[in-house]
Structure 1
Amino acid sequence: MKILYVHQYFITPAQHGGTRSYEFAKHLMSRGHEVTMITSGLQNTEFPVKAGDKVTEHDCDGIRVLSIAAGYNDARRGTGMGGFARMRNFLRFANLATKVGKTVAKPDIILCSHTPLTVGLTGIRLKKHFGVPFVFEVRDLWPDALINIGALRNPLAIWFLRRMERRAYDGADHIVALSPGMKLGVCRQGVAEEKVSVIPNSSDLELFHPDIDGSEHRERLGLRGKFTAIYFGAMGLANGLDYALEAANILKRRERDDIVLVLHGEGGMKSDLKARAAHANLTNVIFSDSLPSKQEVSRVVASCDVCMTIYKATKEVTWSPNKMFDALAAGKPVLINVGQWLGETIEENGCGISCSPEDPTDLADALEKLSADPHLRARMGRNSRALAENEFDRKKLAARLENVLAETLS
């Protein structure tokens, strides 16, 4: 197959963020398929670049990548933007991606990965231009997710995104959802069940591993002699990290200075979170800044005892967070405040503890429980790695995507 793959947030292992589209593209190429990726402002200069008009051509480990001068490549930038500025950037990317896409050789199939939702417009236009099938990957439900966390309240904006959502779903020949909750949300918009496949996020079994030495970062962060839980990922409104600060405050009142929370990453809420932690004198919270590569992130994770997957409490759970799957690969117990399929997966497989999303006392209690029981931590860690290998191996999930593309094309 000749695949035209459009993903605004295409990330390589040398950058920060999820590498799903990179890994899937590599798998497809290893199977003899041709992949051309269109993305936004790829900042990694490690790869050869061929300059063009508003587009640079990269050879990213054999993947032909067309990086266009519209939108932005790092999703964390959006957490500090207003809604209008973000939408303007999204539409610019969708429009220029369409123009650039029309200049490539005719593909056999088009694969567009959302977010943002606007990339669905690119898929529809390129489908019409080339007369080939279009597969739409839904990584988050818009506008539902934005409404649920209170980030979107304007009735006109909601109507506009609802209209765009339905248009993208109707225009796609097949849809890939990253969680059962996302599939349910897609089908609620009138899409037939058989038109939607679930392919969750995957665990990076090579990059994250129980045998990685994290001692350097443990010293750097001053974690010696402390029981440490880490959150690593974006620090935006949807991540709800005030929940972690509340848990830290509870532990402080209980005089559990031996338990430390590390918050690693960047995002629009980071400065506010740091200010709140300083105001409350939360010396048991350590903020860790971005590192040069995801490989370094894996070492920071290795330096800690358990991992936290935290999101803002919402009525519905549709997330498929990279951080949870990488925590499983690292062989760490997982403390998660997200219910339904994510929390159930962790609890039912003995990989950690599911905490109430509304009550940070639950997180504080879970931290105390695990800090007191190294044997329980070890068992949960082994279960985490086993689950990552058996259910969330990236190679297995990439093969499922390949099957979806082949069946859609046929």
Structure 2
Amino acid sequence: MVTNYCQFPGETGNSRYTYLADLLTKEGFDVEVIASTFYHKTKKQRAFSGEDLKYLGYKTTLIYEPGYPKNVSVKRLYSNEVMAKNIMTYLKARKRPDLIYCPFPPIAIGRKVAAYAEKHKIPFVIDIQDLWPEAFRMVFNPPVLSNLLYKPFEKGADAVFRQADAILAVSQTYVDRAANVNKKNALEASVFLGTDLNHFDSLSETRDQLTESHQGVQVAYIGTLGSSYDINLVTDAVHLLKKKGLTNIHFVVMGDGPKRKVFEDHAKKLGISYEFTGMLPYDEMVKKLVQCDIAVNPIVKGAAQSVINKVGDYAAAGLPVLNTQENKEYRGYVDHLRIGLNCIPGDAEDLAENMERLSQDPQLRKEMGENNRRFAETHFNRRNTYEEMVQIMHRLLQESSEEKHVL
């Protein structure tokens, strides 16, 4: 497993990769996780090495990466290129693996690892978490030059997708993007990021016990405070309702990122009831989230995200969602499963109208929240959903073994 965005035990987060590594190990796989010395979430070098993690059931190898201060930056691309080169040096020195699992992005690492797997006829599995360069366009999209600037990145992404023997992704939207250029008739599976619902529930008390502890309506956001997330839109909507006399709405923001100060200053300026907690340990985040009444998924217009991590936690918490995301896949779930209300991206009045509807109707909140919890149980519970990824890897290894036997 080559994943430079891995979160190890003790680090903040709910890692897809270490969960999958544990699952594969229990299934009898001999697993090695190749990760970065640089921790993406904190933007700092890790204070430990692979040697410190020998107690895990899988081997860990940390490969040097210089790091970067911002998610969208030239330094990040350079850092990824350095790590890709260092990974290749390591792969060439070790025994060839039977299968390589490689999350995407970054493009640089995926491209080099895919070429290595192709050369040595090693089954290659990609797991798409985000689309590059589409995500970069959201932050930096100069007129005229944009297509010229991002064309090499698109070709790099296509090269990775073409060489995959299996395409995994956190949404069907992403699976379809890769399958459109894949030439290998790759195995496919859309598996949401999800969470372990048993673990999630063990971190929280029952909803009835917790909701007695606060007054009014709490609107929750969890995740990154960056350019893709329109936190100011939510603040504006709460402010509009306050001007109408609805003063009982409290906006709870759990997370951190480059735009935190901008978002917090805006909330302070408008004088709404709000709280910015910063990044919380996962257990504390869960306990706070389940005490809330409504969740918001305020994705900006034109964003490339699909079914993202936060909506899985919202579902697990049994909260109705106010969604501004344009992605057709998630909007379809919101409508057809009645797990919340879709809103117009960038339209504070429309968001305020839908927020008022939910805040004023406890029965509707309860109904939609229960629908969302059922959605979590069928689509977001890792204990069930990740088994499909394991079975795909079993199948690839079996086919590879049979092919070698014939040769």
The two structures share one fold, judged by TM-score above 0.5: yes
1:177 aligns with 2:165: no
Query: Cα deviation per residue 1:228-267 (whole Å; 9 max; x = unaligned)?
Result: 0110001111123232222223223223220111111011
Question: Is 1:334 matched up with 2:321?
Answer: yes
Q: 1:109 aligns with which of 99, 102, 126?
A: 99
Tell me what 2:382 maps to.
394
Structure 2: tracts of 5 or more residues without a match: 42-46, 400-407
Q: Which amino acid aligns with 2:103?
A: S
The answer to whether the 8 Å contact 1:229/1:304 transfers is: yes
Of 209, 212, 219 in structure 2, the residue corresponding to residue 229 of structure 1 is: 219
SS of the counterpart of 1:29? helix
| 1:186 alignment counterpart | 178
Query: Is the deviation greater in 194-203 or in 14-23?
Result: 194-203
Are the aligned partners of 2:239 and 2:272 in contact in 1 as well (CA < 8 Å)? Answer: no
CA distance in 1, matches of 2:292, 2:9: 21
Q: Write the mapping of 1:10-409 to structure 2, written as runs, cut at 5 A.
A: 10-12=6-8, 14-41=10-37, 56=51, 58-59=53-54, 61-70=56-65, 72=67, 80-128=70-118, 130-147=120-137, 149-153=138-142, 154-189=146-181, 195-209=187-201, 212-213=204-205, 224-278=214-268, 280-291=269-280, 293-314=281-302, 318-339=305-326, 340-409=328-397
Query: Residue 386 of structure 2: SS of its match in structure 1?
Result: helix
Matches of 1:125 and 1:192 in 2, distance apart?
Answer: 14
Q: Whose RCO is larger (CA < 8 A, sep 6+)? A: 1
Report the count of equivalent residues: 385
Q: What letter corresponds to residue 289 of structure 1 in structure 2?
A: G
Report the Cα offset of residue 104 of structure 1: 3.6
Identity of aligned residues (%): 23
Determine if contact 1:333/1:381 at 8 Å carries over to the other structure.
Answer: yes
Give the whole-Å Cα distance in 1 for the aligned partners of 2:386 and 2:4.
19
- 3-state secondary structure, aligned to 1:358: coil
User: Counterpart of 1:30 in structure 2: which amino acid?
Assistant: K
Q: In structure 1, the residue corresponding to 2:65 is in which secondary structure?
A: coil
Inter-partner Cα distance in structure 1 for 2:121 and 2:203? 49
Tell me, in whole angstroms, the C-alpha distance in 2 between the residues paired with 1:249 and 1:89. 41
Measured at CA, do residues 371 and 179 of structure 1 come closer, stay the same or move farther in structure 2, by a change above 3 Å?
A: same
Higher mean alpha-carbon deviation, 230-239 vs 101-110, is at 101-110
Deviation of residue 367 (structure 1)?
2.0
Shift in Å, 1:21 = 1.0
- The one-character-per-residue Cα deviations of 1:81-120 (angstroms, maximum 9, x if unpaired) are 5521111122122222222333443321000001222221
Contact 1:252-1:282 at 8 Å conserved across structures: no
TM-score normalised by structure 1 residue count: 0.84
Are residues 235 and 171 of structure 1, via their aligned partners in 2, closer, same or farther at CA, if it must alter by over 3 Å?
A: same
Which letter does structure 1 place at the counterpart of 2:173? G
CA gap 1:159/1:56 in 2 versus in 1, 3 angstroms: farther
**CA distance in 1 between partners of 2:202 and 2:335 (Å):** 20
In structure 2, do the counterparts of structure 1 residues 101 and 192 end up closer, same or farther at CA, with 3 Å as the change threshold? closer
**Per-residue Cα deviation, 1:165-186 (whole angstroms, up to 9, x for no partner):** 1221223222222212212322
Cα separation, 1, equivalents of 2:206 and 2:64: 38
Taking a change above 3 Å as real, the CA distance of residues 405 and 327 of structure 1, as seen in their structure-2 partners, is same
TM-score, length-scaled by structure 2: 0.85
Shift of residue 334 of structure 1?
1.9
Distance change in 2, residues 1:144/1:50 (3 Å): closer
Q: Using the TM superposition, give the Cα deviation of residue 300 of structure 1 relative to its aligned residue in structure 2, in angstroms.
A: 1.6
Aligned 8 A contact 1:123 1:136 in 2: no
Contact 2:38 2:66 in 1 (8 A): no
Structure 1 208/309 Cα, relative in aligned 2: closer, same or farther at 3 Å?
Answer: farther
**Take 2:191 and 2:95, find their aligned partners in 1: how far apart are those partners?**
28
Q: Using the alignment, how far apart are the partners of 2:390 and 2:135 within structure 1?
A: 28
Shift of 1:388: 1.0
Looking at structure 2, the residues matched to 269 and 231 of structure 1 have their Cα atoms a distance apart, in angstroms, of 14
Task: Tell me the SS of whatever aligns to 1:238.
Answer: coil
Please say if residues 353 and 366 of structure 1, whose CA atoms lie closer than 8 Å, have aligned partners that are also in contact: yes
After superposition, what is the alpha-carbon deviation per residue over 1:198-250, rounded to whole angstroms, capped at 9, x for unaligned?
A: 222223312333982499xx99xxx8312101100011111232322222232
